[in-house]
Structure 1
């Protein structure tokens, strides 16, 4: 019974209960959702800027949500992702470049100085700037 009432209301809403001419065919135009190009996504205002760290402990791969081309020559890519508290967790990236794409393998882990310390479990928007050997140009950025 709980499902029937909302379903009936939904059916009435979809078929329309207006005084329009019911003999005219219903016309609905929908367009596909618009997805912003990852390269056009702005950095989070409250994003923690993380410096690449060597020697991370308990690392695991993570995919980035978006990226922004940076550097005067477009030779850097800032990847945006969710991380832990910056005083305890860090990130690093491995970059593989070809003529057609730039693959960025991002991983996060515990900072060596934070091993054995109490760290809060929170999610923080983070940004890591990754240098490229050549300007990005029209190459595709791929999470690896």
Structure 2
């Protein structure tokens, strides 16, 4: 009989690495209601870049956007973003990796649509959002 307490961890982000698309410009979309909202986590393990597929304007705040990308389940995986801004572009880099509390634990390799809110230094205005 299998002992459920003796589970082996699944390699944390190997399946998610295939989600890097490389599209330079995400598309502007209405906020997807079905996406899982993540909180920025800078302390991820085995983090790797993912492509932002789309972005939305956060209602009531011209200096905030929500970026949408593929991640793993929020019980095991998190995201970290950095933003570089010029007068004409906002370049976003998102990485997905294992949360510190999930290191060494068995995690399912489900792929989920995720959202991360980002605060900009200035309102987006007419600037282009790009993957970095």
Structure with more relative contact order (C-alpha pairs < 8 Å, separation 6 or more): 2
Q: How much has 1:71 moved relative to structure 2?
A: 4.7
Q: Deviations over 1:70-125 (max 9, x none)?
A: 15231111001111000100001010000000000111000011000110010111
Q: How much has 1:45 moved relative to structure 2?
A: 2.1
Q: Which runs of 5+ in 1 are unaligned?
A: 1-36
Root mean square deviation of aligned Cα: 1.2
**Structure that is richer in strand per residue:** 2
Q: How many residues are matched?
A: 107
Q: Deviations over 1:12-61 (max 9, x none)?
A: xxxxxxxxxxxxxxxxxxxxxxxxx822x123222100000021000001
Q: Which residue of 2 aligns with 1:102?
A: 90
**Structure that is richer in helix per residue:** 1
Confirm or deny: 8 A CA contact 1:81 1:126 kept in the other structure: yes
Q: Which residue of 2 aligns with 1:70?
A: 58
Which structure has the bigger radius of gyration? Answer: 1
Which of 5, 11, 27 is 1:38 aligned to?
27
Q: What is the rounded CA distance, in whole Å, between the counterparts of 2:96 and 2:59 in structure 1?
A: 23
Q: What is the rounded CA distance, in whole Å, between the counterparts of 1:72 and 1:44 in structure 2?
A: 17
Q: Which runs of 5+ in 2 are unaligned?
A: 1-25
Q: What is the rounded CA distance, in whole Å, between the counterparts of 2:99 and 2:106 in structure 1?
A: 12
